[in-house]
Structure 1
Amino acid sequence: MKVIYFFRHPKVGHSMHRVFRTLLQEMERKVQIEVYDMPNRGSMPWDVYKNCWFTFKRRGKNTIHHVTGHIHDVLMALIGVKTVLTVHDLVFLDNVKNPIKRCYKWLFWLYLPIKIADKVVCISNQTKRNIISKIKTDKLVVIHNAVDPIFTHSEKPFNQEKPVILHIGTGWNKNLDKTIEALEGITCHLRVIGKLNEIQVKLLKAYKIEYSNVCDISDEDIRQEYINCDIVNFPSVYEGFGMPVIEGQQTGRVVVASRIEPIIEVAGDAVAYVNPTDVDSICKAYGKVLADAVYRKDLVEKGLVNAQRFSVKNIAQQYVELYQNLAKA
């Protein structure tokens, strides 16, 4: 059985490549694969045309074609062949205010791709529910993201005097602003991965937070950041999945995360939950984590167990079964 994977242009972002990279290494043991990146990074009509033509020329007979996310519109080049589409979230639709753009994205990024695809993989039940609320379909199946095996349990004494708090991502949904407010008066070092904007820098200074910041780092560097930290901070207000939760748990770190879906689905009972819109809730969670060693130990142990659900072998097998059933159909 052969599977062709189509990825967005790498300069749009490496997150999807990263999610699938180790998965594909495992898949190569069971299926023949080819991997292609789109030639154009934009979403203007010319970009869509170029990407669709690129995709069309690489179609194959007796082949499963898997569009791994974001470039949903290239499904138009795969009419008539067996296809799988992975949908990570609907932020491309939920976060659009302009009614014309929203209509365009609903048609070409959601409605038509789902109508064309044979199977649509949702990375969480929350994404599945979100799609069903907009389009009635029986093509949806939930397969979670796999955690990269480079993340392994790494023992580290908890730094009680000045814990390192790792915060990954500085976008609007990552809720860094409220984290900064919540940490006022708490002795810690906030390690932020991602480009800080002017407002965030001003807040860090205003609330007198000791921090450091780094951008555009390698996967190995990211792995080391988890090892170096004491707590992983993830109070997001919107997520399609929440990989840092699992990566933190797999490393053996305490995770502070939002009590929202799909984070609840992903994290289980193995994180310190917070209300992401309530600074006091975040502050109280940190108070408990810092003061209670037994609580921290319990979260770490539960996290290591929970992370096993997302092993590469487990997730790869789910995809193989999906492909096999589609090939027989």
Structure 2
Amino acid sequence: MKINFFFRNPKIGHSIHRVFRTLIVEISKSEKVQTHNVPNQGSMPLDVIINNIYSYKKRDKQAINHVTGHIHDVLMALQNTKTVLTIHDLVFLDNVKNPIKRFYKWLFWLKIPIKIADEVVCISNQTKESILKKMKTDKLTVIYNAIDPKFEQVLKPFNSAKPIVLHIGTGWNKNLDRTILALEGIPCHLRIIGKLNDNQLKLLNNHKIDFSNQYNLTDENIMVEYIKCDIVNFPSEYEGFGMPVIEGHKTGRVVVTSKIEPIIEVSANAVAYVDPSNIESIRLAYLKVIEDTDYRNSLIDLGIENAKRFSVETIAKQYLDLYQKLSEK
């Protein structure tokens, strides 16, 4: 069996590549694998045309052609082949206010791709339910993201006097502004991964937060950040999955995160939940995990157990079973 993976242009972001790179290593132990990155970054008509021409040339009628996410529209070039589409979230619809653009994306990123695909994978039940609210289909299967097996538990004494709070991501949904306000006056070091804008820098300085910042890290560098930290901070307002929760669990760190789906589904109550819209809720969670050793340790133990659900062996087997079923059709 051969699997032909199609990825978005890497310049858009590496998160999907990162998740599937872990899977591809495992899948390639038993199957033939080939990967392709589409040439254009955008989603306007010209980009769609160019990416579809590229995908048409790279398609393989003897293989399972798997579109890994974001470039859903290239399914149009893969008709009459065996196809799998992974949908990570519906942010491409949820964030669009212009009704014309919204219809365009609904049609070319959701309706048509799902109609063409033989199998559609959702990375959470939240994503599955969101799709079903927008269209009827019986093609949806939930398969979680896998955690890189390089992540492993590393014991570290918790620094209750001045914990390192690791915050990954500076985008609109990562809730850095409320994090800064919630940490004001709490002795800690805020370690921020992601490029800061001028407003975020001003907020950090105005509220006298002890912080450091870095971006464009390698996967190995990010693993080191988890090892060095005391608290993984992830009070997001919107997520398709929430991989930092699982990475924190696998490393053996206490996680503070939002009580929203799909994070509730992914975290399995092994975290300190917060209301991401409430600064006081976030602040109280920090104080609880810093001051209450038994509570903190219980969450860490639960998290280590929870991470086992997302092992690459488990997730790869689910994809392989799906490919096998499709190949036999």
Provide TM-score, normalisation by structure 2.
0.99
**Aligned equivalents of 1:43, 1:283: Cα separation in 2:** 39
1:182-210 CA distances to partner (integer Å, 9 max, x unpaired)?
11110000000001111111111121111
Match of 1:107 in 2: 107
1:22-48 CA distances to partner (integer Å, 9 max, x unpaired)?
110000112111111111222222221
1:281-307 CA distances to partner (integer Å, 9 max, x unpaired)?
111111110111111111111100000
Show the 5 A alignment for 1:32-51: 32-51=32-51
Match of 1:27 in 2: 27
**Aligned equivalents of 2:80, 2:162: Cα separation in 1:** 59
Residue 59 of structure 1 and its aligned partner are, at CA, apart by 1.7
Deviates more, 1:39-48 or 1:26-35: 39-48
Show the 5 A alignment for 1:211-250: 211-250=211-250
**Aligned equivalents of 1:243, 1:60: Cα separation in 2:** 31
**Aligned equivalents of 1:147, 1:260: Cα separation in 2:** 21
RMSD, aligned α-carbons: 0.7
**Aligned equivalents of 1:151, 1:296: Cα separation in 2:** 20
**Aligned equivalents of 1:26, 1:133: Cα separation in 2:** 34
Match of 1:73 in 2: 73
Match of 2:139 in 1: 139
Match of 1:168 in 2: 168
The 4+ residue runs of structure 1 with deviation greater than 3 A are: none
1:122 is aligned to 2:122? yes
1:204 is aligned to 2:204? yes
**Aligned equivalents of 1:257, 1:311: Cα separation in 2:** 21
Deviates more, 1:252-261 or 1:36-45: 36-45
Identity %: 64
SS of alignment partner, residue 283 of structure 1: helix
Match of 1:317 in 2: 317
Match of 1:303 in 2: 303
1:258 is aligned to 2:242? no
1:113-132 CA distances to partner (integer Å, 9 max, x unpaired)?
01100111000000000000
SS of alignment partner, residue 255 of structure 1: strand
Match of 1:90 in 2: 90
**Aligned equivalents of 2:147, 2:60: Cα separation in 1:** 30
**Aligned equivalents of 1:135, 1:20: Cα separation in 2:** 27
Match of 1:18 in 2: 18
**Aligned equivalents of 1:100, 1:30: Cα separation in 2:** 45
SS of alignment partner, residue 162 of structure 1: coil
**Aligned equivalents of 2:31, 2:244: Cα separation in 1:** 29
SS of alignment partner, residue 60 of structure 1: coil
**Aligned equivalents of 1:101, 1:147: Cα separation in 2:** 34
**Aligned equivalents of 1:47, 1:236: Cα separation in 2:** 30
Match of 1:278 in 2: 278
Residue 89 of structure 1 and its aligned partner are, at CA, apart by 0.3
**Aligned equivalents of 2:40, 2:241: Cα separation in 1:** 26
**Aligned equivalents of 2:97, 2:15: Cα separation in 1:** 25
1:259-297 CA distances to partner (integer Å, 9 max, x unpaired)?
000000000021000010111111111111011111111
SS of alignment partner, residue 256 of structure 1: strand
**Aligned equivalents of 2:44, 2:262: Cα separation in 1:** 31
**Aligned equivalents of 1:107, 1:44: Cα separation in 2:** 13
SS of alignment partner, residue 112 of structure 2: helix
Provide TM-score, normalisation by structure 1.
0.99
Deviates more, 1:206-215 or 1:227-236: 206-215
Amino acid at match of 1:276: P
SS of alignment partner, residue 34 of structure 1: strand
Deviates more, 1:25-34 or 1:82-91: 25-34
Amino acid at match of 1:292: D
**Aligned equivalents of 2:214, 2:62: Cα separation in 1:** 46
Structure 2: where are the runs of 5+ without partners?
none
Residue 52 of structure 1 and its aligned partner are, at CA, apart by 0.5
